[in-house]
């Protein structure tokens, strides 16, 4: 029995330790990748703590692809950073904000993109973006139990990388984001949209509660917030089944925390598919026009200068 | 609790340490086995523990009563019959009630135009109910047939019925093999435990790398059979053939290996069936614990092979209809059983000798042409059988099989299963090299394997292959039976 236990430990322990060390080292390398919708590239900036932004953009892909900080900076004269997370609703966005806040300076303004999808609760999309950060305590707290990681991904060192394919994390380190923004140089491809009959508004209690807490915290920190309904192709807006409830829901938060709302869902470019690459997302040209318009409106309303 | 779950990887070492270091002595160890097994099973749904307990109590009591009525054959027959009826009634209610009522309803509807309303009930199928029911039946039948003395120790009997490595998907143990092992002191055997771990490792490789990946392709494409070219349909059939083998024999390997860690030897359940040269040989190598169960408790009592040719064929059809039904409450399983019964009858009618004394290509590296053709034909027939088995309805099975000959033979819409097909073939290639062993990682006397570094290198390689290729976790197919 002693021999059995000794040999079992001798078999498992060195292998485990070796993989654990390799896992740690590989994670440092994997942080440099830009894969998974460029999410890791954005995490890299956030975790390094050198963003130093006065204005941060929050939202899903409809923030990531829509709000160009370079355009906005030229009008606002501030340093803007886009924290948009592709395919993710408010729950993930808020987690990212808290991690951002812990490692970066306090912003003066948050531009919070809102829409019919933001209050859903969905996890799992692009969960690989968190892989290089399993060694980080804040990231573990925020995502380890929330995301649908398998037991192997969670507890077996190197499993998540080997299983996913090491080359994915090694082969792609060209930078694509500009201050967190991803400009999409594509023309209209609305084919998938044609098959959608309706776009429902789904509200999760968990996400709503977290959103409320987040707004409360932001207010307590003295950070200004502006809600933005960014452009959607008008055909998609017409398919929204519950638009009144969407407006009423966000109006409730706006009233509660004294937040202005800017609505661009009826902006002139929403009627022209040449500014979109699909029904929900502007292309680079549309994003620059919209960012310009948004920055001018923020400046005109004096949101940054209000006491 | 699944073998391929985190819970099991914590559960197993805890039970192992308690078994060998804390619960010393046979009785205490048996008690621990019962407790651990009930935790293992109750992890799914604790309510079904009541069913296992009822099955165990009935069979235990029947053993005592059979002993009590020693010499009174009538009473013994009554006791034995009562036990069989109770066990099969539980099985019937939980597994077959809806199937039979729906079938009766269809029959009445088509013959008399009479339709029964609300005849089905919402029943959850308890995991592994067919396995432990058959194990319990084997005990009381063996006691009745005087192959075994009834046990008076309720704990060892409960341990025999619920022994966690094989509780939910076999091997279906015989009381004559497993029960005496609970009745004697167990000594830790290093070689046995190490070989058990090897067998478990091979089982995990089969399950995680081949079965789970093939399952994904098969599940994704199966319903598109009307649009796929014939070659893709055949590929799907082959992938399912690999899936079901690696899933089920993988489970058996893990179960047998796990039992060996605790000093138990379970019966062999698979003996490299895809290297069979005929369908009868295939069935001597596939799910051995079930086929021998049917042989001993149904086929032999019906007269077995010691009767006229037509009676033998009748017996074969009865056994295989029951065997099909055992697999699931669906006509596809019955038809699958009858398909194999037909093949077995053909072999029997033509008097084809299938009683091979040696493994295929014994003493040679490659099979000869005759053996290759025999194996190819047997594999092909097995694939056809598995297509019937996998189909959700007989209509689907028929359409799938006809699409294999009527659809275009080849076009661009091929199934993306090439990698997994190669993995399956690679696994079978390793098993081919080890086909005279108990399992593929049982190293013989080859000099290379005498070095620990070589053996450990192989183990590490298998673990890394699992790291790389493990598919999304799927439950074991045979749990539903």
Query: Per residue in B262-307, pLDDT tens?
Result: 999 999 999 999 999 999 999 999 999 999 999 999 999 888 778 8
Lowest mean pLDDT among A159-163, B213-217, B456-460, B473-477: B473-477
Q: List the structure tokens of B387.
A: 């297509």
More confident: B94 or A216: A216
Say yes or no: ipTM exceeds 0.90: no
Across the range B80-95, mean pLDDT stands at: 88
More confident: B30 or B404: B30
pLDDT band at A144, cuts 50/70/90? confident
Kindly state the percentage of chain A with pLDDT values over 90.
50
pLDDT score of A294 more than 90: yes
| Pairwise CB contact (< 8 Å): A4 & B456 | no
Q: How many angstroms separate the CA atoms of B210 and B428, rounded?
A: 11
What pLDDT, in 10s, does the model give residues A25-54? 999 888 877 665 567 778 888 988 888 899
B1 part of contact set with chain A, CB < 8 Å: no
pLDDT score of B119 more than 70: no
Q: Which residues of B are catalytically annotated? A: 327
Residues 25-44 of A with CB under 8 A from B: none
B419 part of contact set with chain A, CB < 8 Å: no
Task: Provide the pLDDT for residue B380.
Answer: 95
Task: Provide the pLDDT for residue B269.
Answer: 93
Domains with residue ranges and CATH for chain A: 55-126+134-148+176-301 (3.40.50.1110)
Q: Pick from A7, A155, A163: which is nearest to B467 by CB? A: A163
Task: Provide the pLDDT for residue B480.
Answer: 60
Residues of B in contact with A162 (CB under 8 A): 464, 467-468
Summary mean pLDDT of chain B: 88
Tell me what percent of chain A is helix, strand and coil, each rounded to the nearest 5. 55, 10, 35
pLDDT band at B308, cuts 50/70/90? confident
Q: How many angstroms separate the CA atoms of A90 and B193, rounded?
A: 52
Give the distance from residue B20's alpha carbon to the nearest chain A alpha carbon, in angstroms: 9
For an interface test with B, the pick among A156, A165, A166 (most B C-beta atoms closer than 10 Å) comes out as A156
Residues of A in contact with B188 (CB under 8 A): 1, 4
| Pairwise CB contact (< 8 Å): B467 & A1 | no
User: Which of B342, B354, B350 lies closest to B316, judged by CA?
Assistant: B342
pLDDT score of A170 more than 80: no
The residue assigned the tokens 């859903």 is: A120
| Pairwise CB contact (< 8 Å): A155 & B6 | yes
Q: How many angstroms separate the CA atoms of B283 and B276, rounded?
A: 9
B191 part of contact set with chain A, CB < 8 Å: no
Across the range B80-101, mean pLDDT stands at: 84
Name the closest residue on chain A to residue B20, using Cα atoms.
Answer: A1
pLDDT band at B185, cuts 50/70/90? very high
Task: Provide the pLDDT for residue A45.
Answer: 87
Q: List the structure tokens of A208.
A: 């709503």
Residue B215's SS3 state is: helix
pLDDT score of A192 more than 70: no
Task: Provide the pLDDT for residue A114.
Answer: 92
Residues of B in contact with A168 (CB under 8 A): none
pLDDT score of B155 more than 80: yes
pLDDT score of B413 more than 80: no
The residue assigned the tokens 């002191």 is: B185
For an interface test with B, the pick among A2, A3, A6, A7 (most B C-beta atoms closer than 10 Å) comes out as A7
| Pairwise CB contact (< 8 Å): A155 & B463 | no
A155 part of contact set with chain B, CB < 8 Å: yes
Task: Provide the pLDDT for residue B363.
Answer: 80
Across the range B449-468, mean pLDDT stands at: 90
pLDDT score of B111 more than 80: no
Name the closest residue on chain A to residue B457, using Cα atoms.
Answer: A11
Name the closest residue on chain B to residue A2, using Cα atoms.
Answer: B190
The residue assigned the tokens 């000594």 is: B187
| Pairwise CB contact (< 8 Å): B468 & A162 | yes
HSE (CB half, 13 Å, CA atoms) of A76? 30
| Pairwise CB contact (< 8 Å): A151 & B5 | yes
Report strand pairing: A276-278 vs A281-282.
Answer: antiparallel
B463 part of contact set with chain A, CB < 8 Å: yes
pLDDT score of A128 more than 90: no
């Amino acid at each position: 029995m002693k021999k059995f236990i000794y040999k079992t430990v001798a078999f498992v322990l060195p292998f485990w330790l070796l993989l654990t060390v390799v896992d740690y080292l590989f994670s440092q390398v994997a942080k440099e990748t830009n894969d998974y919708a460029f999410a890791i590239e954005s995490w890299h900036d956030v975790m390094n703590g050198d963003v130093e932004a006065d204005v941060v953009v929050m939202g899903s892909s409809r923030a990531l692809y829509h709000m160009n900080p370079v355009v906005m900076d030229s009008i606002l004269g501030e340093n803007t950073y886009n924290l948009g997370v592709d395919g993710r609703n408010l729950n993930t966005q808020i987690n990212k904000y808290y991690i951002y806040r812990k490692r970066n300076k306090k912003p003066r303004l948050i531009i919070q993109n809102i829409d019919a999808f933001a209050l859903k609760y969905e996890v799992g999309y692009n969960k690989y973006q968190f892989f290089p950060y399993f060694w980080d305590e804040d990231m573990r707290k925020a995502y380890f139990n929330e995301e649908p990681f398998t037991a192997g991904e969670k507890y077996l060192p190197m499993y998540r990388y080997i299983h996913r394919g090491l080359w994915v994390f090694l082969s792609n380190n060209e930078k694509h984001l500009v201050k967190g923004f991803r400009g999409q140089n594509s023309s209209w491809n609305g084919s998938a949209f044609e098959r959608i009959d309706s776009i429902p508004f789904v509200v999760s209690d968990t996400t709503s509660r977290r959103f409320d807490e987040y707004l409360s915290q932001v207010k307590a920190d003295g950070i200004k917030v502006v809600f933005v309904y960014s452009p959607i192709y008008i055909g998609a807006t017409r398919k929204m089944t519950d638009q009144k409830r969407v407006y009423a829901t966000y109006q409730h938060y706006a009233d509660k925390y004294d937040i202005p709302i800017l609505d661009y869902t009826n902006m002139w470019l929403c009627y022209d598919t040449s500014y979109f690459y699909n029904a929900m997302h502007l292309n680079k040209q549309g994003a620059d026009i919209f960012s310009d318009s948004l920055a001018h409106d923020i400046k005109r309303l004096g949101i940054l200068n209000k006491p | 609790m699944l073998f391929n779950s985190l819970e099991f990887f914590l559960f197993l070492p805890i039970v192992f340490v308690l078994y060998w270091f804390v619960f010393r002595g046979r009785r205490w160890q048996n008690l621990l086995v019962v407790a651990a097994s009930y935790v293992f099973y109750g992890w799914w749904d604790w309510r079904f523990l009541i069913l296992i307990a009822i099955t165990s109590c009935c069979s235990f009591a029947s053993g005592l009563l059979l002993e009590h009525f020693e010499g009174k054959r009538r009473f013994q027959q009554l006791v034995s019959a009562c036990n069989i009826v109770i066990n099969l009634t539980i099985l019937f209610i939980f597994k077959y009630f809806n199937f039979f009522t729906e079938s009766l309803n269809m029959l009445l509807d088509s013959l008399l135009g009479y339709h029964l309303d609300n005849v089905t009930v919402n029943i959850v199928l308890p995991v592994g109910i067919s396995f432990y029911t058959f194990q319990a039946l084997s005990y009381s039948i063996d006691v009745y047939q005087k192959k075994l003395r009834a046990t008076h120790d309720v704990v060892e009997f409960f341990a025999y019925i619920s022994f966690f490595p094989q509780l939910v998907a076999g091997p279906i143990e015989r009381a004559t093999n497993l029960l005496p092992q609970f009745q004697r002191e167990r000594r830790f055997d290093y070689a046995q435990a190490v070989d058990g771990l090897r067998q478990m490792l091979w089982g995990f490789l089969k399950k995680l790398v081949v079965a789970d990946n093939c399952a994904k392709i098969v599940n994704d494409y199966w319903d598109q059979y009307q649009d796929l070219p014939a070659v893709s349909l055949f590929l799907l059939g082959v992938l399912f053939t690999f899936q079901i083998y690696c899933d089920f024999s993988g489970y058996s390997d893990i179960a047998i290996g796990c039992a060996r860690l605790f000093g138990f030897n379970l019966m062999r359940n698979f003996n490299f069936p895809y290297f069979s040269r005929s369908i009868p040989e295939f069935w001597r190598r596939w799910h051995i614990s079930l086929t021998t169960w049917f042989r001993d408790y149904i086929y032999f009592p019906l007269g077995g092979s010691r009767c006229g040719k037509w009676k033998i064929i009748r017996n074969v059809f009865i056994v295989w209809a029951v065997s099909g039904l055992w697999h699931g409450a669906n006509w596809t399983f019955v038809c699958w059983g009858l398909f194999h019964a037909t093949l077995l009858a053909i072999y029997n009618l033509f008097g084809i000798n299938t009683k091979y004394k040696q493994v295929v290509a014994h003493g040679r590296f490659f099979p000869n042409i005759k053996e290759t053709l025999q194996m190819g034909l047997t594999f092909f027939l097995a694939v056809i059988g598995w297509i019937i088995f996998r189909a959700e309805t007989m209509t689907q099975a028929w359409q799938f099989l006809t699409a294999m000959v009527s659809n275009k033979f080849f076009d661009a819409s091929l199934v993306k299963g090439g990698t997994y097909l190669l993995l399956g073939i690679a696994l079978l290639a390793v098993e081919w090299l080890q086909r005279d062993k108990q399992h593929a990682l049982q190293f013989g006397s080859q000099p290379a394997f005498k070095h620990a570094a070589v053996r450990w290198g192989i183990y590490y390689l298998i673990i890394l292959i699992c790291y790389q290729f493990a598919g999304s976790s799927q439950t074991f197919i045979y749990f539903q039976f």
